[in-house]
């Protein structure tokens, strides 16, 4: 049977909530280039969909999960805090990964398109 150290869980939850509570809402970062700058490799339509819809969904999910987490912490509901952790990881990871992804793409105008 699973044994849970509730003191350690509360300490971790409190620290996580402090981090979450100290920040403003997450936003999708602006692209450092135009949507069409990566054509013909990646179309402007795909870039717009991926940036404005797909990445935005991760951001919305992360903000919602952080809000629910803060509410659970205010109620001292450790079980709810633990249950929200997968959503925080999934949406937070998607947001961070996409934010890095946009910075790693570069169009020909800025020196991209050549093999390193």
Assessment of whether the complete model's pTM goes beyond 0.85: no
CB 62 within 8 A of CB 95: yes
Higher pLDDT, 7 or 107: 107
Q: How far apart are CA 49 and CA 43, in angstroms?
A: 10
Q: How far apart are CA 98 and CA 53, in angstroms?
A: 12
94-108 mean pLDDT: 91
- Please state the φ and ψ torsions of residue 95, each to the nearest 5 degrees: -65, -50
pLDDT at residue 110 in the model: 81
- pLDDT tens, residue by residue, 59-95: 999 999 999 999 999 999 999 999 999 999 999 999 9
- pLDDT tens, residue by residue, 16-60: 455 555 568 999 999 999 999 999 889 999 999 999 999 999 999
- Residue 11, pLDDT > 90, answer no
Q: What is the DSSP-derived secondary structure letter of residue 30?
A: P
CB 25 within 8 A of CB 63: yes
Residue ranges in 50-108 assigned as alpha helix (H): 56-74, 78-104
pLDDT at residue 3 in the model: 35
CB 70 within 8 A of CB 110: no
The sign one gets for the Cα dihedral 45, 46, 49, 52 is: negative
Q: What is the DSSP-derived secondary structure letter of residue 39?
A: T
CB 113 within 8 A of CB 91: no
pLDDT at residue 108 in the model: 78
Q: What does the mean pLDDT of the chain come to? A: 84
């Amino acid at each position: 049977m699973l044994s849970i150290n509730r003191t350690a869980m509360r300490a971790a939850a409190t620290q996580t909530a402090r981090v979450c509570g100290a920040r403003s809402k997450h936003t999708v970062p602006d692209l450092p280039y135009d949507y069409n700058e990566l054509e013909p490799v990646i179309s402007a339509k795909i870039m717009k969909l991926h940036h404005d819809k797909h990445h935005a969904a991760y951001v919305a999910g992360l903000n919602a999960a952080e809000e629910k987490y803060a509410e659970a912490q205010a109620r001292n509901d450790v079980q709810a805090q633990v249950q929200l952790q997968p959503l925080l990881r999934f949406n937070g990871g998607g947001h961070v990964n996409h934010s890095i992804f946009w910075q790693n793409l570069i169009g020909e105008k800025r020196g991209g398109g050549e093999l390193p």
